[in-house]
Amino acid sequence: GQQLNQSPQSMFIQEGEDVSMNCTSSSIFNTWLWYKQDPGEGPVLLIALYKAGELTSNGRLTAQFGITRKDSFLNISASIPSDVGIYFCAGANYGGSQGNLIFGKGTKLSVKP
């Protein structure tokens, strides 16, 4: 099935460092979402973006919806050990009877304490 291009695939960082990851698509979406998934659990929504150019923060997390509507990025500031996990971007064209999300392959974040 269709998936988004997410990079980097994995990253190792020192506690306290800032993290950046991004997601690109060949298709336009009207909504971009960022999820975090811990081992053995389902994805948990971190941030939802609804308009091109929108910049939204949730605590130490900041995400932006690209102007072209084909990309998005997520920044995590001052990383801590509990930030470890897999981060997924997802695009959607929500409306009417639709409701499915298109996910990237994820960015695996590991933090050295």
Rule CB under 8 A: choose which of 45, 55, 78, 80 binds other proteins: 45
Select 16 or 53, whichever has its Cβ closest to other proteins.
Answer: 53
**C-beta atoms surrounding 97 within 10 Å:** 4
User: Residues in contact with other proteins, total (CB under 8 A)?
Assistant: 27
Q: Are strands 55-58 and 61-65 parallel, antiparallel or unpaired?
A: antiparallel
Which residue, chain included where needed, has tokens 């050990």? 81
Rule CB under 8 A: choose which of 26, 82, 99, 113 binds other proteins: 99
Asked if residue 57 binds other proteins (CB under 8 A), the reply is: no
Q: SS3 string of 22-73?
A: EEECCCCCCEEEEEEECCCCCCEEEEEECCCCCEEEECCEEEEECCCCCEEE
Select 40 or 113, whichever has its Cβ closest to other proteins.
Answer: 40
Give the binding site for other proteins (CB under 8 A).
Answer: 1, 3-4, 6, 31, 33, 40-45, 48, 88, 90, 92, 94, 97-106
